[in-house]
Amino acid sequence: MKYFSLVLALAASTLLCSCHDEVSYQKNMEHLKDTMFKTYPTMAGVSVDVQNWTDLQVVVRSAQLYSSSKENKQKVTAEIGEMAQITFGTNNELDKGQVIFTKDESSTDMNPADAEKYPITFPKK
């Protein structure tokens, strides 16, 4: 019984600590970038940032995607939102975000001057 209680306490503390696991979030952000590069091969660059554990910011650096239609950008934004939900898991704290399209493929700015921003909608918990 002591062993079971110890295992239960350890599991609970692991779950509580993992809610804000910086290393895990970094790995998830890198995985999301990798998935995006595979999905959108014309994309020259991407930056991913999670602010306050809840706000996902994705900057897509692609002249081709930037010059595509509004409908296509909305479609890509929805796809990135789905990728993020899968990558970060269903038990994450993400509740809002945006995809920012820029034609400047060499910049690393998270708020480019030519930004076209589209909101990401995450399912309510």
CA dihedral sign of residues 78, 83, 85, 90: positive
Q: Domains in the chain, please, with CATH?
A: 21-120 (3.30.70)
Q: Which residues of 23-49 are buried (b: 16+ CB within 10 A; e: fewer)?
A: eebeebbebbbebbeeebeebbbbbbe
Going by pLDDT thresholds of 50, 70 and 90, the confidence category of residue 20 is low
Kindly tell me if the per-residue pLDDT of 125 is higher than 70. no
Q: How far is CA 105 from CA 4, 29, 30, 45, 54, in A?
A: 54, 19, 19, 6, 27
| Residue range 45-74: mean pLDDT, rounded | 95
Percent of the chain with pLDDT over 90: 63
Write out the two tokens for 32.
């999301």
Phi and psi at residue 13, to the nearest 5°: -70, -35
| pLDDT surpasses 80 at 124 | no
State percent of the chain over pLDDT 70. Answer: 82
Angle at CA 119, nearest 5°, toward 68 and 58? 75
pLDDT band of 44, cuts 50, 70, 90 = very high
| Token code pair at residue 10 | 């350890």
66 vs 48: CA distance, rounded Å: 17
